[in-house]
Chains A and B, each alone.
Chain A
Amino acid sequence: MSQRQLAMVMDLNKCIGCQTCTVACKTQWTNRNGREYMYWNNVETYPGEGYPKKWQQMGGGFDASGDLQEGVIPHIEADYGIPWDYNFDSLAKGEQLKANAPLTWGPNWDEDEGAGNFPSDNYFFYIPRICNHCTNPGCLSACPRDAIFKRDQDGVVLVDLDRCQGYRYCIAGCPYKKVYFNPKISKTEKCILCFPRIERGLPPACAQQCVGRIRFVGFLDDEESQVHKLVHKYKVAIPLRPDYGTQPNIYYIPPTESPVKFDANGKPIEGSNRIPAEELEKLFGKEVHEVVKTLKAEMKKRKETGESELLDMLIAFQHSEMFRLDNNYYQEHAKTKGYKLLAPVDDRYIKGKNTKKISFFKAHA
């Protein structure tokens, strides 16, 4: 366990599946050098098979007694799908349009398909997924070379590329299949929670670019942070598939709002909900029912009284309140450990438990 834990909360009620986070991550980190097929951040449609295909059935994680479980390593063609491109250059020469790889699967292959019958009870929602930076990581536990570590200062899970020998047991061990093998360097790579950005006062690219403002970033022990309030005070943000036993640090506010179902005559069925409660329970555990209750109660309260701290937070008025990156903490850590940290590039998000003073335009001083 790390000294402190940086965490993210994603509000699924507000995710519109625009993939801006996916693209932000891809252009920042994974559009090159053997990472082309990797999606450190992807947004998948649920119900759906996800990326890699059927990742929820691939094993890994821990059983109730805490033993790491066997897992499957997804196949590049069948489960990830090889990223393809078309022969646009050759079209001018009269060639037919064709892809340069077999089209087998991809990160948004079954986007917006969902389940149920249109129009009576069909439904779907989006789940953006990044590495969960677990407190009890399956990938770290599976590595025979002790190449994966959890940073002490903020709990970010990283791969030491000097130690990594490309054995790929981490991929089998991670139940979320968020660790990837880079065939070009024959080593593992994964989401780094944009730590080089965090250390300079910028939130992760996926969070900053999110147009729906669904992502909150902060330290779990920072009582002022919205992340702390959503997870610990209001207890409305819960991890995905807690039954895997890895104690994820990416939390989700489960989707509570959906249109009502229609009966055979096309009439709305009052009080019905298209998203089955058992599906939510499968994804988020039994706690989800309590969360839905809290959210409904707060919405009612807001309607009646016009006041609700929780809903004000979920509206996400200000990035500067959604992200609390505690830059002084990182600077102090660097000083005590004797490494060099660059000055923050943005002072809007540097507040935190150890960063009380906000001096706009003077952050570098």
Chain B
Amino acid sequence: MKKIALTLTTIGLISSVYANSVINATKMTTDLSKITVDSKEWKSAKFTDIVLYPQTTIKMNDKNANTKNSDVKAKKAKVAVLVNDKDIAFLVKWADGTKSVQAGHNSSYADGFAIQFPENFSNPKELPYIGMGSEGRNVVIHLQKAVDAFYEPNGNQDVAHQVSRNNSPYFEKELQVFDAKVKAIASNDYQKAYVGAGFRSMTEIKDGSSKFSSDMQYGKKEWSGTLNRPLKDDYLDLTKNGSFPVAFAIWDGENSNRDGLKLLSTWVPIVIDTKNDTLKVVDTLTTPVKGDVKKGQELAMANCAACHAFKGTEGVTPSPYMAPNLSNIGGYSTADYLRESILNPQAALVPGYNRNAHKNFAWYNTDEKGNRTSTMPPFNWMQPQEVEDLVAFLQTLKAEVEK
């Protein structure tokens, strides 16, 4: 396969045949539910490289952060997965020259990582939108951030310890006791689980019904983060088939990363049971596109550039807010998502900006019942080969990978 791919690239038919990474989970018999970065279990794990690309679909409105991230490169991360009968554990390692922990003031941002699971992956050609799902295609997300002590908004109704130390009635030793108590009621592990059907809808699971644990450690200019969760819970059933897709995201606090300012991967197949792999997630996600990049580029300039911005559309696209920016679409989309979005944009709707932020550029229309219709018309009149050409071109749209 590699050989054919290489030949095809050289004759200019395909550019981006470099297939996705496939992560093979290592079978374990030991308990994984308490695993952390330090656990010895990781010694037997195999690491696979994945690439995370800067999110550029929508532009955030923080001027300084945008400047810092204007030419951010894609980043490699190493992922290992362990699995036993009940639980699954992930270890993600990525290089980060600066350790950023969100400290107690408003100008500090945290490093962090997240792992996203599709709620339903029975048809790997129709996965949720990579940006935290889409309507009818939910995702579950586990987030871990490096945040110093933080508190519940209502302080668990302990009013006395919400008072500033300057306003407390204490001095000297009593004040030290007060400080210690305040410190003790803080949470130190910023780990959260969410469900989402598109990034605006993301909602935290706060009732403890998602049992998971994650951990983050920094050393040798590198972050290591682990996540362990049950294979099966109220939200997900990962045991149904031998494989399932996940997506990864990392944040760099030094670059004021948070929310959409992040690096994210495409859907990456995880294989936990090769014998029982009936779904062919791996095949679907790794089959190279057979299209002509050059023809695809011409098609994109003729059909997409009037709304979508990407490299080469400078001066063509009238507004940056008009439609999803495609500059890194090749980095974090699957070929099937691209095909689906061309032929039936309605299938996975991108929530886009707040409807109030760019009123002239709605990405979807809403009827009285709340049904959303994409503003983009279906391009289903395209010839199948044209679609392949276009997808092959779109796959080339991605930032350079950091060395």
By a beta-carbon cutoff of 8 Å, the part of chain A in contact with chain B is: 31-34, 36-37, 59-60, 65-77, 80, 82, 85, 89, 136-137, 140-146, 161-163, 165-169, 171-173, 180-181, 183-187
Task: Check if A76 sits within 8 Å of B107, measured CB to CB.
Answer: yes
Partner of A33, one of B162, B172, B204: B162
Task: Check if A141 sits within 8 Å of B354, measured CB to CB.
Answer: yes
Contacts of A185 in B (CB 8 A): 150-153
Cβ distance A206 to chain B, nearest Cβ, rounded Å = 20
User: How many Å lie between the Cα of A145 and that of B202 in the bound state?
Assistant: 7
Task: Check if A186 sits within 8 Å of B150, measured CB to CB.
Answer: yes
Is B371 close to A, CB under 8 A?
A: no
| A68-B155 in contact given A144-B60, A167-B258 (Cβ < 8 Å) | no
User: How many Å lie between the Cα of A50 and that of B190 in the bound state?
Assistant: 35
Is B290 close to A, CB under 8 A?
A: no
Contacts of A59 in B (CB 8 A): 63
Task: Check if A145 sits within 8 Å of B61, measured CB to CB.
Answer: no
Contacts of A31 in B (CB 8 A): 164, 167
Task: Check if B354 sits within 8 Å of A140, measured CB to CB.
Answer: yes
User: How many Å lie between the Cα of A67 and that of B354 in the bound state?
Assistant: 11
Cβ distance A252 to chain B, nearest Cβ, rounded Å = 24
Task: Check if A32 sits within 8 Å of B354, measured CB to CB.
Answer: no
Q: Besides the contacts A68-B356, A142-B357, A168-B106, what 19 more A-B pairs have beta carbons closer than 8 Å?
A: A33-B151, A34-B104, A66-B358, A67-B321, A75-B106, A75-B107, A76-B106, A142-B61, A143-B354, A166-B258, A167-B259, A168-B62, A168-B258, A169-B259, A185-B150, A185-B152, A185-B153, A186-B150, A186-B190
Partner of A73, one of B62, B150, B206: B62
Task: Check if B199 sits within 8 Å of A144, measured CB to CB.
Answer: yes
Task: Check if A187 sits within 8 Å of B153, measured CB to CB.
Answer: yes
| A146-B107 in contact given A31-B164, A141-B354 (Cβ < 8 Å) | no
User: How many Å lie between the Cα of A69 and that of B171 in the bound state?
Assistant: 47
Is B123 close to A, CB under 8 A?
A: no
Task: Check if B147 sits within 8 Å of A144, measured CB to CB.
Answer: no
- List the B residue with the shortest CB-CB distance to A188: B106
Contacts of A82 in B (CB 8 A): 105
User: How many Å lie between the Cα of A163 and that of B260 in the bound state?
Assistant: 16
Task: Check if B360 sits within 8 Å of A66, measured CB to CB.
Answer: yes
A-B contact pairs, 22 of them (CB 8 A): A32-B167, A59-B63, A66-B359, A67-B358, A67-B360, A70-B62, A71-B63, A73-B64, A75-B107, A89-B172, A140-B356, A144-B200, A145-B259, A162-B204, A162-B206, A169-B62, A183-B103, A183-B105, A184-B104, A185-B150, A186-B147, A186-B150
Is B163 close to A, CB under 8 A?
A: yes
Is B66 close to A, CB under 8 A?
A: yes
Partner of B61, one of A34, A68, A136, A140: A68
Is B102 close to A, CB under 8 A?
A: yes
Contacts of A144 in B (CB 8 A): 60, 199-200, 259-260, 354
- List the B residue with the shortest CB-CB distance to A85: B166
Partner of A76, one of B105, B151, B203: B105
User: How many Å lie between the Cα of A250 and that of B359 in the bound state?
Assistant: 24
Contacts of B152 in A (CB 8 A): 185
The number of residue pairs between A and B whose CB atoms lie closer than 8 Å in the complex comes to 127
Task: Check if B357 sits within 8 Å of A32, measured CB to CB.
Answer: no
Contacts of B206 in A (CB 8 A): 162
Cβ distance B142 to chain A, nearest Cβ, rounded Å = 14
Nearest 4 A/B pairs, CB to CB: A141-B357, A33-B162, A181-B106, A68-B357
Cβ distance A23 to chain B, nearest Cβ, rounded Å = 13
Task: Check if B61 sits within 8 Å of A172, measured CB to CB.
Answer: yes
User: How many Å lie between the Cα of A211 and that of B245 in the bound state?
Assistant: 64
- List the A residue with the shortest CB-CB distance to B165: A85
Task: Check if B360 sits within 8 Å of A34, measured CB to CB.
Answer: no
User: For chain B residues 120-167, which have a beta carbon within 8 Å of chain A?
Assistant: 147, 150-153, 155, 162-164, 166-167
User: How many Å lie between the Cα of A67 and that of B63 in the bound state?
Assistant: 15
Task: Check if A70 sits within 8 Å of B61, measured CB to CB.
Answer: yes
Contacts of A60 in B (CB 8 A): 61
Contacts of B203 in A (CB 8 A): 163
Cβ distance A272 to chain B, nearest Cβ, rounded Å = 41
Interface centre among A34, A72, A77 (most CB of B within 10 A): A34
User: How many Å lie between the Cα of A31 and that of B190 in the bound state?
Assistant: 25
User: How many Å lie between the Cα of A167 and that of B354 in the bound state?
Assistant: 15
Contacts of A73 in B (CB 8 A): 62, 64, 106-107
Task: Check if A70 sits within 8 Å of B167, measured CB to CB.
Answer: no
Contacts of A142 in B (CB 8 A): 61, 354, 357
